[in-house]
Structure 1
Amino acid sequence: MLFNDLFWERWRTILVRGDDEPEYIPAGDETGCHRVVFAHGYFASALHEISHWCIAGERRRQLHDYGYWYCPDGRTREQQAAFESVEVKPQALEWLFSEAAGVTFNISVDNLSGDGACDEAGFRRKVARQARGYLETGSLPPRGRLFLETLLTFYDREVVFGAHLFTPDRERSAI
């Protein structure tokens, strides 16, 4: 509801619960709108997919899944490094959204059966640093800022929210 109310009119984009994998579907079919599809009704999936949408530029928002590749679980070290390099910003934004809504955020290296390529603690530090940076430098993507402000107001969390919440050891706890 919050996403659709905020972004439908100007960006012709809606958030849709999906039955399977999340995806982004640009306008171009009979619906006439862009669709951010999140998995199985999971709130965390919705926040993650919204994060990707908030970061994607105009050109990427015209491409299915923003034109990103996806390499499934079982990635090599090189593939994992590439995955993490593109996931730092959306996961940092997702963490901000999670804290604004008062829900637990869980970092995702998304490579449970890989070749030991994951440095989850290192990735968590990068995501925490990016989340704090977004707040301290005011460098949030504009749509991300709008959504964050909407969540903070809706969940009445302005007073408890701040950069102090985003440290690597605090990643799994929400207030």
Structure 2
Amino acid sequence: MHQIADLIAIFERTFYPRYNTRLVKGEHEPIYIPADAQTPYHQVVFAHGFYASALHEIAHWLMAGEQRRLLEDYGYWYCPDGRDKAQQAEFEAVEVKPQAIEWALSVAAGFNFNVSVDNLNGEQTCRFDFQARVHKQLLQLLKTGFNPRTTALLKALSEFYSTPWPLQAAQFVWQHPQELVDVV
């Protein structure tokens, strides 16, 4: 049901004419590459053709302002897998909002969302605590509204996949596993 070619086409229709940006299937690590002399358009490159990777990289692009979109990887800090506790905490702090947007994109596309702490070879943290922070951010975005680019893509995904629009908080019910234990 979730073909990467469909997502690429939706992104292309929604953003290429106005933002000169394309969603590109990469072979390895994801990256954002601004237009240059060799490639006349900006590229949101996602990993290995994975639908979830594409949604995640799109979320970063949707957050980036005009000046950030002129910089490789938006000029942001990134520390690869293998982060220590302090590095992982910093990583999670900057990932809350993009993962909240990714969650909204996933629901609009009818696609299963999973948070990613992206640190298999480093300090392990509580995935559920991170998901709780992402969920809280998502509910805040639903309340205050998404930026125009995000809203445009959410609508396009919802239309293509025939999912409910507009998005409602009830579509994002989640309880921390500790809360479930406390109820029993």
Structure 1 residue identity aligned to 2:134: V
Unaligned regions of 5+ residues in structure 1, if any? Answer: 171-175
User: Which of 17, 27, 30 is residue 25 of structure 2 equivalent to?
Assistant: 17
Native 8 Å contact 1:74 1:113 kept in 2:
yes
Deviations along 1:5-48, whole A, 9 cap, x unmatched?
Answer: 11011100000111111110001123211000111111101100
Q: Distance in 2 between matches of 1:86 and 1:141?
A: 18
- Aligned counterpart, 2:11: 3
Tell me the CA shift for residue 161 of structure 1: 4.1
Native 8 Å contact 1:48 1:90 kept in 2:
yes
The structure that has the greater radius of gyration is: 2
Q: Percent identity?
A: 52
Partner SS, residue 83 of structure 2: coil
Structure 2 residue identity aligned to 1:8: Y
Q: Distance in 1 between matches of 2:99 and 2:119?
A: 15
Is the alpha carbon distance of 1:34 and 1:160 closer, same or farther for their aligned partners in structure 2, counting shifts above 3 Å? closer
Native 8 Å contact 2:142 2:167 kept in 1:
no
Deviations along 1:75-99, whole A, 9 cap, x unmatched?
Answer: 1121111101110011000000111
Q: Distance in 1 between matches of 2:75 and 2:174?
A: 30
User: Which of 90, 103, 114 is residue 106 of structure 1 equivalent to?
Assistant: 114
Does residue 125 (structure 1) correspond to residue 156 (structure 2)? The answer is no
Q: Distance in 1 between matches of 2:117 and 2:32?
A: 20
Partner SS, residue 93 of structure 2: helix
Tell me the CA shift for residue 154 of structure 1: 1.1
Tell me the CA shift for residue 166 of structure 1: 2.1
Comparing both chains, which one has the higher relative contact order based on Cα–Cα distances under 8 Å and sequence gaps of 6 or more?
Answer: 1
Partner SS, residue 22 of structure 2: strand
Structure 2 residue identity aligned to 1:132: L
Does residue 76 (structure 1) correspond to residue 101 (structure 2)? The answer is no
Structure 2 residue identity aligned to 1:120: R
Is the alpha carbon distance of 1:31 and 1:74 closer, same or farther for their aligned partners in structure 2, counting shifts above 3 Å? closer
Alignment root-mean-square deviation, CA? 1.6
- Aligned counterpart, 2:156: 150
TM-score by length of 1: 0.90
TM-score by length of 2: 0.86
Q: Distance in 2 between matches of 1:160 and 1:131?
A: 14
Partner SS, residue 96 of structure 2: helix
Q: Distance in 2 between matches of 1:41 and 1:5?
A: 19
Structure 2 residue identity aligned to 1:103: F
Unaligned regions of 5+ residues in structure 2, if any? Answer: 1-8, 177-184
The 5-angstrom pairing of residues 31-70 of structure 1 reads 31-70=39-78
Tell me the CA shift for residue 114 of structure 1: 2.0
Q: Distance in 1 between matches of 2:90 and 2:147?
A: 22
